[in-house]
Structures are given as structure tokens and as C-alpha cells.
Amino acid sequence: MSDEARPPLGSWARLYVLVVVIAVAIMMALYWFTARWNIPLSAS
Amino acid sequence: MSVIDWIVFVAFLAYVVGDGLRRSRGTKDLEGYFVGGRSIPWWAAGLSIMATQASAITVIGTTGQGHDGGMDFVQAYFGLPFAMVLLSIFMVPLYRRLPILTAYEYLERRFDARTRTLASLIFLVSRCLAFGIVIYAPSVVLSALLQIPIETTVIAIGVLTTGYTLFGGVNAVIWTDVKQMLVIVGGLLVVLVILLQRLLAELDWGGVLTALGAAGKLNALEVTPESSVLVPRLAIDEDGPRSFWEEKYNVWSGLIGGLFLHLAYFGCDQSQVQRILTNPTARESRMALLMSGFAKVPMQLGVLFIGVLLWLFYTVQPGPLLFDPSDRAAAQGNAEVAQLQEQHEALRQRRVAMVQQIGEQAGPGDVSPDLLRDYQAAVVEARALRERAAEALHGEAKVRDTNYVFPHFVLTHVPPVLLGLIIAAIFAAAMSSADSTLNSLTAATVVDFYRRWLKPRATEAQALLASRVVTLCWGAAATVAALSLRGGGSIVEWINKVGSFFYGSLLGVFALALLVPGAGPRAGFYGLLGGMTSVLLAHWTVRIEFLWYNVIGCLGVLATAGVLRLLGADRR
């Protein structure tokens, strides 16, 4: 089997989905983090 | 800086330059000089991709942005992971199928020679505008750190980078980038540890976050824009309400504008496309891109967090009113600035007391409204005092010391040996970006102009010699340009702004080639011109932030091509 035929995680689609899922998870975590910890300067 | 720091710094430089020169062995043709014989492993190309983008920007510019504006800049990178996936799907197979050395060669195969030439010219103009800044901006900071003239640091970066790139080509660039990237990450981690150590001696972890959050510094993701006005304000409209498009960083500009910017930068900018071309297989090219897709957002978060920690550090510890050493020298004997400095210090001491109270709360939401109001007013006042000092010195109430915050901390609070390492990291960051720019400018000049138009029958040996001469010329030109530059502000924004004027149109013409099979040569050439014109018109007529220029340029290309098609003026 050639190197080209062996994508990580078995298929490229899975790896792409993993990248997207991690990116979305980071953004959701940052959304929570901002809502939990940040108060904009104009808020007071 | 102590002798031991100088030894660490010079030893690192000697090692990098020596290693770069060693890589010149085996570079016998253009394939070797520009794409490393297509034999670079994915992890090295991936680290080089990150080091090229990192520049001194990441080390000094982004930490400065964190200090001044908080974490919001991370949103500009939200589109990057999605861009990497799209590029892996669409662009990697395209580039790897063809025996090309520059991205723009593909455009000749798809459209015609003039579209390729125009695209390559746009790349050359945009990159050479940024190249001087890439050398100049860190040189200013390094000259302040090392207490040597700026001309010396500019020449050192220019000569050393040109030297190893001239002989070793892309092989030298990538392998020095790998080492430079490791030193950059190491240097940043050292600063992060020192900062946390100092701050956690004053506050607990929750107190640090509460004090930062109450000052609005933890603004990592802003869903609700400041303005809901969707009609852009005209450029001549000074007093009208700000529109949605004028907000620099929010999740929407980051996801949409950032997606277009990163698609263009990693997919159409020769300095990055060249990395895709250096790997032995398409699989490795994809892995190199996805590595950056995984790592870039967390890395930017870490760097910005260092910036906001620096802000808190200079709240609980005494610091200068202005961080630029030349400002401080100019302020000597200036009674107005001395008075502002006293006010700033008195205000800081009030803020320290407030930070201690705030730090005892479970979160910023638990801080009493009165205390929160006073604290935020003090934060705003401190900024206003800095602006008044800048006005007293420069006649303009604009603080331009973003790039000096990190170096000032390093110079005054980092112990010997580690200081040498961090200064080496800043130098490494400057060289890792400059070398890639230099090699890619040479690739575009030689492949798209010299061998395409001037000397199509040049032998490999002649073309390689021409490449080395062109590298020398670009290196000299950028060094001279850097010597003549003056100014301040954030480096990272400068580079992104310059790029955003051009990148959207480049992305547009590649998108046209890929997505519209019926588009012909006229659509490619005039589309590219139309995209550039759209960005210029938008810049002159409406107030809009630079990330959106990437979207406008790309849509401008597609719209121009559509109009030509409707008019029957484009046939494939």
C-alpha cells in the first residue's frame, strides 16, 4: 500500500472532521470563557 | 544585557546561520533551490509554515496587542482551521498534480500568461511592501533591547538572512525555521512561566482572571457586534454612527474575513504555497497544512494571554508610562510628562488596592457595581494618561508603544541566560519570516519573469545563478528599505493590512479557476483587475475594517468575471 493511500485516521474526511470539531470546540469554550469571565469596559 | 546573554545570543545566531549555509550542499537546480527537491518531511514544512507566519509579529506584536486590546485579536484566526481543511481538499491536489515551482504557474495553464504575470506581480508588490517592515519592526525593538543603533540590527538581520537563504535556498529556510520555531516557543513559555510566577505571588489564579475580566481584557469571543448598523459609513462621514463593518475583531469578521484572508495567504501566497510544494507527496502537504490548522489558534491564545498578563503585571507592579525607550529619553526634562507619570503611578496604586479587592471575588460578576465602575474608570483613565503623554511628546494622542511592552518586561524581569534565549527568539522570529519572504520573492521573480519572459532557454545552472543574484538583490533592497522606514504601531496589523489589500483578489482568481470551469482568460485577467479595483474603491469610499477587504477582493474578481460572461466578452 503506497504512502499516499494511507491517510491518518483511515480517511481524510475523518481528519478534516476532527480539525473542524476541535476548532468549533475551542470557539465554544472561548464563548463560555468570555461570558463567564469578561465584562466589557463599557458595561459599567 | 550580561556577557552570558550575549554568548547565548551569538551562539544561537552562529548555529542557525552555519546550519543554513550547510544546507546549500546538494542545491544544484531550481527544484532544489525553491522546493527542496520535494523531499522535506511534513512536520518540518508544517513548523516552517508556522514560523513564516509567526515572525517577530507573534513574539512582540501579538503580546503588545494583548496588553493593549485584550484577547479579541484571536478571533482573526478563527477562519484558519477551516481554511486549512478547504486548502487540503481543493488546492493541495491541484498544486501537487503539476510540476510547478510557483502558485502562479498554474494560472497560465488555466488562463493565460498575462493572468499569471499579473498575479505574480501582485504577489511581488504586496510582499516587497511588507518585507521592509518584517525587517524594520523587530530591528527597532532589538536595537532598544541590545542598546545598539537600529542600523546595526537592520543590517544584521538583512545580511544574515540573505546570507543563508542565498546559498541554501528553501532547504536552508525550512530547516532554520524549524530551529527558530522551537526557540520562539521556548522563549514564550519562559516568559509565561515567569509572569505567572510573579502574578500568582500577588493573587490566586481566580483572582488573576477576575482582575483581567473586570477590565474587559478576556474578550476572546464577541458574538454580539458593537454596532448593528449594516450600511457602511461613507469615508467622508466623520460623525455618523459606526457600522458593523468598522469593528476590527469580532467572531464574524474572524470567521468570514479571516477565512478569506487565510485561504488567500496559505493557498495563493508564494511564501506559503512553496511549503506545500516541498513535500514528497500530497499526503505530506496536507499534513503540513493541517498541523497549522490544529496548532495556530491555541498558540495565538497563549501569546495573547501573555499580553494580558503583562497588562496585569504592570498594574500590580510599577512600570513606565510609555514603554518605548526613545519616548522615555524624549520625556527627560519634560515637566508635563513628569506630572503625567506621577498621576499614572498614583492611579496605579489605587488600582492595586482595587485589584486586591476584586481578586477576592469568585468572578467579575460578583464584584460590587461601585467597585467595578471605579476599577473600569481607572483602567480608562490610565489609558488616557498614556495618550496624553504621547500627545505631549508627539503632538498626537495615540500610544504607539505596542511593540515595546514585551521587550521591556524581558529586559527588566527575565534572569540572565534566559534573557539571551528570549532575545535570540525575537531575532529568530524576525529571520524566520524574512527568509521565507526572500526565497519566495526570488522564486516568483526568477520563475515567473526571468525564465518566463527574459530568458526562457536558460539552463538550470544559469537559472540557479540568477536565483542567487536575485536573492542578493531582494535582500539588499529590503535592508535598504528597512533602513529608511520610520514609524510605530502594531507590526501584526501592518502586515495583515498590507496583505489584505491584495490577497482577496489573488484568492478570487484561484477560486474562479477552480469553481467556474467555463471561465476563460479574459475573466481571469480582468477579474483580477476588477478585484483590486473593488478593494481600492471600498477603501476610498467607505469605512470598513481590513479583514473584510479579503472578501471584497475575492467577490470583486468573481463579479467582474460574471459581468464579462453576461456581456459575452469571455470565451474559454
Closest CA to B496 of B64, B76, B194, B106: B76
**Model pTM score:** 0.89
CB contact under 8 Å between A12 and B217, yes or no, is no
Tens digits of residue pLDDT in B362-413 = 888 888 999 999 999 999 999 999 999 999 988 888 888 888 899 899 989 9
Residues of B in contact with A33 (CB under 8 A): 218, 220-221
CB contact under 8 Å between B82 and A23, yes or no, is yes
Q: Which three-class secondary structure state does DSSP give residue B542?
A: strand
CB contact under 8 Å between A40 and B216, yes or no, is yes
Residues of A in contact with B212 (CB under 8 A): 37
For B79, the closest chain A residue by CA position comes to A23
CB contact under 8 Å between A40 and B372, yes or no, is no
Question: Could you tell me if the ipTM is greater than 0.95?
Answer: no
- What are the residues facing B233 on neighbouring strands? B543
Q: Secondary structure of B36-83 in the HEC alphabet?
A: HHHCCCHHHHHHHHHHHHHHHHHHHHHHHHHHHHCCHHHHHHCCHHHH
CB contact under 8 Å between A16 and B82, yes or no, is no
CB contact under 8 Å between A34 and B220, yes or no, is yes
Closest CB to A23: pick one of B281, B282, B297.
B297
Tens digits of residue pLDDT in B408-453 = 999 899 999 889 988 888 888 888 888 989 999 999 999 999 999 9
For B363, the closest chain A residue by CA position comes to A37
CB contact under 8 Å between A31 and B223, yes or no, is yes
Helical packing angle, B113-146 and B150-199, nearest 10°: 70
Contact B170, B432 (CB under 8 A): no
Closest CB to A37: pick one of B78, B84, B363.
B363
For B255, the closest chain A residue by CA position comes to A27
Residue type, position B9, single letter: F
Residues of B in contact with A15 (CB under 8 A): 290
Long-range contact list for B388-393, CB < 8 A, 24+ apart? B388/B340, B389/B321, B389/B322, B389/B327, B389/B331, B389/B337, B389/B340, B389/B341, B389/B344, B390/B322, B390/B327, B392/B331, B392/B334, B392/B336, B392/B337, B392/B340, B393/B322, B393/B327, B393/B330, B393/B331, B393/B334, B393/B337
Per-residue confidence (pLDDT) for residue A19, from 0 to 100: 93
d(CA B399, CA B389): 8
Please return the burial class of B112, using the count of CB atoms within 10 Å of its CB with bins 0-12, 13-18 and 19+.
Answer: middle
d(CA B175, CA B48): 8
CB contact under 8 Å between B221 and A7, yes or no, is no
- Average pLDDT value over all residues in chain B: 90
Per-residue confidence (pLDDT) for residue B432, from 0 to 100: 83
Kindly report the number of other CB atoms within 10 A of residue B458's CB atom.
16
Tens digits of residue pLDDT in B19-69 = 888 887 767 889 999 999 999 999 999 998 888 877 776 678 889 889 998
- What are the residues facing B234 on neighbouring strands? B542
- B206 at A interface, C-beta within 8 A: no
- B215 at A interface, C-beta within 8 A: yes
Sign of torsion, CA B141 B144 B147 B151? Answer: positive
